[in-house]
């Protein structure tokens, strides 16, 4: 049984994906929302996993030292500014920017040395910040290098691998250098790892692009992480590996699988809960301050635009351009990426033509849960409906983690058979 610690747990997407494989035991989970007194996500997590491990609703910066020994550390952490600097005395090495939660992850990694770390983030992490492309991700890679880990990453669009949402996220898998898996990888070319033998390739197949079309890069991370923070830039692509500070990255093309459609999700919700309530349908009897009905406002928001606007800050006039998007959403395709504003009158919300009433409406919270692969009504634990949408906008696609969990179990089984972790314990 692999021991797991889950950080930034939300309503438990990582845990659901892992536990779908059995052989995982989540010992300790942390979820804390600093901007509100009402801890709706934590309450949902604690309710759904009642009497299963320790649930902590405190700032991870204050409780990271309480994390128990574990094999696997997981979490979907915020995308922040990861810059570092020397301490004033220059005696304590480096210090990260205060409030940056990645440093709490590294505190746990350095203190507990889990066999594996699996993290999730938005794919723009690879390019941030705009003024020093790739710096933040390079700092992360250098941090894991200094902690004694090898790192693989892949940007995955869930819809490419059979799931019902076009949601792109980066997954980062780190594993200790003193392991059989690392030894096997060290004797393998980077291309072989990305396309065949690494962590991601066997479960998320990719085509090998023709040589002339490849986007790729090779870098050596500076040994001084402050130098990485101050001056280092790199172009990172959607797949890559870092070994002992040597980075190889390449743009890979997924071998796509037939995806579940938004229409199938809607049908599944209808089969279990019946027709959507009237409250989800677009209002036709009221107009906003601009004199538009809800339908007219959404038609404008989702439509193409090229209009003159005035900057509130400077008074400068400029032209704003924006392409149009499907309205209503196509039920024959996977859903678009859900955001935390789902279910409100804005450009990003899904609006569908209900297949039974032929009227336009928003997705229900249950349909949003299904788009992420959660059990139906998972967030119906007393939280307001607005927060149910918010939690799903922040969540990951559970089925992706289920696949990764199975792969981790395979690797760990081989480690135990080869005696890799026994060797590590004797060092």
Active site residues: 79
Question: For the chain, how many residues are written?
Answer: 427
Cα separation, 108 vs 111, in Å, equals 5
Cβ-Cβ contacts under 8 Å for 137 (sequence gap 6 or more): 125, 126, 128, 234, 236
HSE, side-chain direction, 13 A CA sphere, residue 39: 18
Longest dimension (CA), the chain: 73
Cα separation, 49 vs 77, in Å, equals 21
Q: Identify which of 161, 166, 13, 125 has the alpha carbon closest to the alpha carbon of residue 75.
A: 13
Q: What are phi and psi of 209, to 5 degrees?
A: -70, 150
Q: Is 24 helix (H, G, I), strand (E, B) or coil?
A: strand
Q: Identify which of 385, 300, 405, 308 has the alpha carbon closest to the alpha carbon of residue 342.
A: 385
In this structure, what token pair is assigned to residue 195? Answer: 């396309």
Sign of CA dihedral 362, 367, 369, 371: negative
């Amino acid at each position: 049984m692999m021991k797991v610690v889950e950080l930034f747990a939300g309503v438990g997407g990582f845990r659901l994906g892992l536990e779908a494989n059995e052989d995982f035991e989540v010992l300790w989970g942390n979820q804390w929302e600093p901007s509100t007194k009402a801890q709706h996500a934590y309450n949902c997590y604690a309710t759904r996993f009642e009497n299963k491990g320790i649930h902590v609703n405190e700032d991870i910066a204050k409780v990271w030292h309480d994390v128990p020994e574990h094999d696997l550390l997981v979490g979907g952490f915020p995308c922040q500014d990861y810059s570092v600097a020397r301490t004033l005395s220059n005696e304590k090495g480096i210090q990260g920017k205060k409030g940056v939660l990645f440093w709490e992850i590294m505190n746990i990694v350095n203190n507990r040395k889990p066999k594996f770390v699996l993290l999730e983030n938005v794919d723009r992490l690879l390019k941030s910040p705009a003024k020093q492309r790739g710096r933040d991700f390079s700092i992360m890679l250098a941090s894991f290098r200094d902690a004694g880990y090898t790192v693989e990453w892949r940007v995955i669009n869930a819809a490419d691998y059979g799931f019902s949402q076009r949601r792109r996220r980066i997954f980062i898998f780190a594993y200790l250098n003193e392991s059989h898996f690392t030894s096997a990888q060290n004797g393998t070319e980077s291309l072989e790892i990305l396309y065949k033998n690494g962590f991601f390739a066997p479960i998320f197949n990719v085509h090998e692009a023709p040589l002339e079309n490849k986007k790729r890069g090779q870098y050596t991370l500076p040994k001084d992480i402050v130098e990485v923070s101050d001056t280092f830039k790199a172009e990172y692509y959607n797949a890559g590996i870092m070994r002992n500070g040597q980075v190889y990255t390449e743009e890979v093309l997924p071998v796509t699988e037939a995806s579940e459609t938004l229409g199938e999700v809607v049908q599944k919700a209808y089969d279990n809960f019946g027709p959507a309530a009237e409250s989800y349908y677009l209002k036709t009897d009221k107009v906003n301050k601009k004199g538009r009905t809800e339908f007219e406002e959404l038609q404008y928001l989702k439509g193409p635009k090229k209009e003159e606007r005035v900057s509130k800050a400077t008074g400068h006039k400029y032209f704003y351009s924006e392409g149009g998007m499907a309205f209503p959403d196509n039920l024959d395709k996977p859903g678009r990426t859900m955001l935390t504003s789902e279910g409100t009158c804005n450009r990003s919300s899904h609006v569908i033509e209900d297949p039974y009433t032929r009227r336009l409406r928003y997705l229900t919270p249950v349909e949003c849960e299904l788009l992420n692969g959660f059990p139906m009504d998972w967030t119906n634990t007393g939280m307001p409906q607005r927060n149910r949408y918010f939690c799903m906008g922040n969540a990951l696609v559970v089925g992706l983690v289920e696949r990764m969990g199975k792969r981790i179990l395979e690797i760990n089984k081989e480690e135990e058979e080869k005696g890799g972790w026994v060797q590590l314990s004797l060092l």
